[in-house]
């Protein structure tokens, strides 16, 4: 319900069940007054399915994605590869952070979405244990999701984790190489997405694990933290390690020795019902795409969108073509 509730690229609207409810007096009164005038409702177009392909005749699937560039690309990668095999796929773009998109998933508005393994545990399962490896994280995610009716497909080779970035002169001045060093810099301002405030892979973990309390938190839309850091309005920024913007300026990424930010490989999560209905070819297509997603591949696709302002749809298409997935 923040900037995250955008229309899908297919013309449908995200409309989470959590947002259903009954009215406040004012709102309702007005709604009644104006309801009569009506309003154009969303239309959902479906792509025609060529016969002879594994997805032909299978029920339509809705894939969601979260509220930042990499996710827009991932949503397009999976959707386009599936469509090429005859599946009918709608994409609901830019739904929001993990906390919000999980509601869309569990309420059935989307059938699946690409998530990051570690964040499933901390933000959704509220499990702040430390896991030793990507595989251990993955296994824990699988156990959690299986327990509530969802399946976790193969994880990607790439890992995109939160990290704290500072400008190199600031790092030199305060001898910063790792996150716990921030304890010694006096009060500093950290810019990060709003949800960072209440996440274990965020301020909560920084405080509990590293004892960092000398931080002023500045909530910023994802993307703006680079602008703020470059302008010196914040001293540290939460970034994603595959961000394209990291190629534009020079930044020092602080190490996370106790790994509070965890392992964050992408795991497509789908409801078991959907996977059964779509058949094994569906899973195979998704896994084939995931297998190609290495760190350099993701970094360059992100940069192509954020630095060179290419359209995520086009970037995904080029990548799939180059890897014979279209």
Partner 1 sequence: MKDFVNAFKFMGDNLDLLVNKTVEHLELSGAAIAVALVIALPIGLWLGHLHRGSFVAINAANVGRALPSLAIIAIGLGILGIGFVNVMVALVVLAVPPILTNAYLGVDQVDRDTVSAAEGMGMRPWQVFTRVELPISLPLVFTGIRTSAVYVVATATLAAIAGGGGLGDIIVNQASYKLAGVIAAAIWVAVLALLVDAAFGLLQRAVTPRGLRRAAEVSDAPPPDEGAAAPLVAGRPVPGIE
Partner 2 sequence: MIASLSHSLITAQTVIPKFGHADDCVRQNRTFCWGWFSDHWDDVFQPALLDHIKLTLIAVVVGFAISIACAIFAYERGWFERPFSVFAGVLYTIPSLALFQLLVPVTGLTELTVEVALVSYTLLILFRNTLTGLREVPEDARDAARGMGLTARQMLWRVEVPLAVPAIIAGVRVATVTVISLATVAAFVVDEGLGAPIFAALQSSFNTEFIAAGALAVLLALLADALLVGFQRLVTPWARAGGTR
Which residues in the 196-225 window bind partner 1 by CB under 8 A?
Answer: 197-198, 218-221, 224
User: Which lies closer to partner 2 via its Cβ, residue 187 or residue 309?
Assistant: 309
Q: Where are the alpha helices (DSSP H) in the chain?
A: 25-35, 69-84, 98-106, 117-119, 134-147, 168-173, 205-210, 224-230, 272-278, 280-291, 295-306, 312-322
Show the DSSP H helices in 64-123 as ranges. Answer: 69-84, 98-106, 117-119
* Binding residue count for partner 2, defined by CB under 8 A: 74
8-state DSSP, 223: T
Q: Which of 27, 57, 214, 273 is the binder for partner 2 (CB under 8 A)? A: 27
Pick 125 or 315: Cβ nearer partner 1? 125
- Residue 277 binding result from partner 2, partner 1, none, given CB thresholds of 5 to 8 Å by partner type: none
Query: What character string, x for contact with partner 2 (CB under 8 A) and - otherwise, covers 118-157?
Result: -----------------------------------xx--x
> What secondary structure does DSSP assign to 124-139, as a single string?
IS------SSHHHHHH
22 sits near partner 1 (criterion: CB under 8 A) = yes
Q: How large is the C-alpha radius of gyration of the chain? A: 21
Residue 242 contacts partner 2 per CB under 8 A: no
Q: Is 231 in the site for partner 1 (CB under 8 A)?
A: yes
| Contact flags string 52-91 toward partner 1, x per CB under 8 A | ----------------------------------------
- Report the site for partner 2 in 152-181 (rule: CB under 8 A): 153-154, 157
What's the angle, vertex CA 78, arms to CA 75 and CA 79, rounded to 5?
A: 80
Quickly count: other Cβ atoms within 10 Å of residue 157's Cβ. Answer: 16
């Amino acid at each position: 319900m923040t900037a995250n509730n955008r229309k899908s690229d297919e013309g449908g609207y995200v409309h989470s069940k959590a947002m259903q409810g009954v009215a406040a007096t004012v709102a309702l009164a007005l709604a009644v007054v104006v309801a009569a005038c009506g309003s154009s409702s969303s239309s959902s177009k479906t792509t025609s399915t060529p016969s002879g392909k594994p997805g032909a005749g299978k029920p339509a699937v809705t894939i969601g994605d979260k509220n930042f560039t990499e996710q827009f690309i991932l949503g397009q990668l999976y959707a386009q590869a599936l469509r090429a095999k005859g599946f009918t796929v709608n994409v609901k773009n830019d739904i929001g952070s993990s906390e919000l998109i999980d509601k869309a998933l569990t309420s059935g508005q989307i059938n699946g979405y690409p998530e990051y393994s570690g964040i499933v545990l901390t933000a959704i399962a509220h499990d702040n244990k430390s896991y030793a490896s990507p595989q251990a994280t993955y296994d824990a995610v699988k156990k959690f999701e299986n327990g509530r009716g969802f399946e976790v497909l193969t994880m990607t080779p790439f890992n995109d984790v939160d990290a704290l970035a500072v400008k190199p002169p600031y790092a030199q001045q305060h001898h910063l190489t790792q996150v716990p060093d921030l304890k010694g810099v006096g009060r500093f301002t950290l810019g990060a997405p709003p949800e960072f405030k209440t996440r274990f892979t965020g301020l909560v973990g920084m405080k509990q694990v590293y004892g960092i309390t000398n931080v002023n938190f500045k909530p910023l839309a994802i993307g703006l933290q680079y602008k703020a850091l470059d302008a010196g309005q914040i001293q540290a920024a939460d970034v994603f390690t595959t961000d394209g913007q990291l190629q534009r300026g020079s930044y020092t990424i602080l190490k996370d020795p106790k790994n509070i930010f965890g392992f964050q490989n992408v795991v497509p999560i789908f409801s078991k019902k959907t996977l059964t209905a779509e058949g094994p070819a569906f899973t195979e297509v998704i896994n084939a795409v995931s297998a190609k997603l290495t760190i350099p591949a993701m970094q360059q696709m992100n940069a192509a969108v954020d630095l060179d302002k290419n359209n995520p749809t086009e970037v995904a298409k080029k990548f799939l073509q180059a890897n014979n997935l279209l």
